[in-house]
Amino acid sequence: MQKGEAKLIYVDQKGHMVSSGSLDELHAFARKIGLKREWFQDKRIPHYDLTTRAIQRAIAAGAMPVDSRTLVRKAKICKTNPGTDVYV
């Protein structure tokens, strides 16, 4: 995946990674940066928990760093539209 390619993936400083597009996109991006599918947290806010090194890999691969409030807002878009790509 080229830098800047993942426009819908977000990470916060606490190590959470979400998508505002689809869960399929989130899983594909996670796989690209070396995360395992079983690490996915399908809770109130579907996300992956990242280590500091994984945050760096995600940003290098194109994820946008955001604050936690923005991350939750973006994740809610994905939860509302789990099978669609929604650009915001």
Boundaries of every domain in the chain = 9-80
Cα separation, 67 vs 36, in Å, equals 24
Phi, psi of 47 (to 5 degrees): -160, 170
Residue 7: the pLDDT is 62
Residue 80: the pLDDT is 57
Local confidence band at 4 (pLDDT 50, 70, 90 cut-offs): very low
What pLDDT digit, counting tens, does each position of 5-56 carry? 446 899 999 999 999 888 999 999 999 999 999 999 988 889 999 999 999 9
Instruction: Compute CA distances 73 → 20, 33, 76, whole Å.
Output: 8, 23, 5
Phi, psi of 67 (to 5 degrees): -75, 165
Cα separation, 10 vs 24, in Å, equals 14
pTM: 0.80
